[in-house]
Amino acid sequence: MKLEESFGFNISKVAQRMDARFSKSLEVFDINSRDYGILLTILNYSPLTQIQVGELMAVDRTTIGQLIDSLETKGLLRRQKNPKDRRQNLILLSEEGDNLVKQMWLTMQTIEYDVIKNLQDTQEVTFLTISRIIAEGKGNGKN
């Protein structure tokens, strides 16, 4: 038994390397990579309710509420009454949040490609394809 032969261990190590470097680059904005993920999710799928953001991010209701509160306090998000359901708020990016997501996208990509720089081009495509299939729980995998 070797730890290095574990899928989970290796995937986790890649994610840790990317996360540590990207979170370091986000410190100036007083956010981390998880916060950035929330902002990016809202940019991509807006308008969303708080519950929908949590579901897309696989974060429980209490935690996503705290994270959204924090990002709102920092001026990166705003809440707006949902015209289709007045009991809910839509979570929207502020102008500052929108600018931050767009500004840091290239930085995130640069870090990700630097972490996987030892892969050949075809391996990069394969790695992204496989990781997407695993993350989405799709595919015709083994039973």
Is 90 strand, coil or helix? strand
Is 46 strand, coil or helix? coil
Helix, strand counts (H, E) of the chain: 6, 3
Query: Which is more confident, 45 or 138?
Result: 45
Q: Which pLDDT value is given to residue 84?
A: 86
Q: Which pLDDT value is given to residue 39?
A: 98
pLDDT band for position 108 (cuts 50, 70, 90): very high
Q: Which pLDDT value is given to residue 142?
A: 60
Please, how many CA atoms are within 13 Å of residue 69, restricted to the half-sphere of its CB?
Answer: 6
Does the pLDDT of residue 143 top 60, yes or no? Answer: no
Q: Is 103 exposed, middle or buried (0-12, 13-18, 19+ CB in 10 A)?
A: exposed
Does the pLDDT of residue 140 top 80, yes or no? Answer: no
pLDDT band for position 5 (cuts 50, 70, 90): confident
Does the pLDDT of residue 139 top 70, yes or no? Answer: no
Six token digits for residue 24: 């370091």
